[in-house]
Amino acid sequence: MIVAADTWADFAGAVWAEPTTRWIVYVFLFAVFGIGV
């Protein structure tokens, strides 16, 4: 399935706008780099 780049950009922007999503990303990055290093 091919999706236009602008559609992905809109979707990513909407998801990133959610504070909970950003919190999950931050926790994931901390787990990967904080514990992995």
Q: How far is CA 32 from CA 15, 23, 26, 35, 37, in A?
A: 21, 14, 10, 6, 8
pLDDT of 9 strictly over 60: yes
pLDDT of residue 10: 86
The DSSP call for residue 27 is H
**Buried residues in 1-37 as b, exposed as e (16+ CB within 10 A):** eeeeeeeeeeeeeeeeeeeeeeeeeeeeeeeeeeeee
Report the pLDDT value the prediction gives residue 3, as an integer from 0 to 100: 63
pLDDT digits (tens, 9 = 90+) for 11-35: 888 887 888 888 888 889 888 888 7
- Tell me what pLDDT residue 8 has: 80
Predicted local distance difference test score (pLDDT) of residue 36: 60
DSSP state for residue 25 in the 8-state scheme? H
* pLDDT reported for residue 37: 57
